[in-house]
Amino acid sequence: EIVLTQSPATLSLSPGERATLSCRASQSVGDYLAWYQQKPGQAPRLLIYDISRRATDIAARFSGSGSGTDFTLTISSLEPEDFAVYYCQQRRNWVTFGGGTKVEIK
């Protein structure tokens, strides 16, 4: 099983700031890395797939990067609606999710 480790667990930032979220895999996941946003009481929403491709209707301030085992989700300038929990997910070997990063208002 490929283990995904997300860091930090919590990120405290103010609106307008840049958020950088990390996802590290225990072995290479190729291109099969996706990111989701989840707000309280809601289902996760796909943001990024194939490491860097934005899903339909996802704002340009969200971007994904990385390769092999190290990946990053960047939110260039936080909007009030971006404060949520973010998960990474791999599909290289079965499916696993990271433990999540909570982006909270500072």
Partner 1 sequence: QVQVQESGPGLVKPSGTLSLTCTVSGDAITSNVWWSWIRQPPGKGLEWLGEIYHGGSANYSPSLRSRVTMSLDKSKNQFSLKLNSVTAADTAVYYCAREIQAAFDPWGQGILVSVSS
Using CB under 8 A, which of 16, 43, 60, 80 touches partner 1? Answer: 43
- Distances 78 to 33, 43, 61 between C-alpha atoms, Å: 22, 21, 8
Q: Does 23 interact with partner 1 (rule: CB under 8 A)?
A: no
CB of 35 to partner 1, least distance (A): 9
Contacts of 72 (CB under 8 A, 6+ apart): 20, 21, 22, 23, 64, 65, 66
Amino acid in position 83: F
CB of 79 to partner 1, least distance (A): 21
Kindly list the residues in this chain that would bind partner 1 in the complex (CB under 8 A). Answer: 1, 31-32, 34, 36, 42-46, 49-50, 53, 55, 87, 89, 91, 94-100
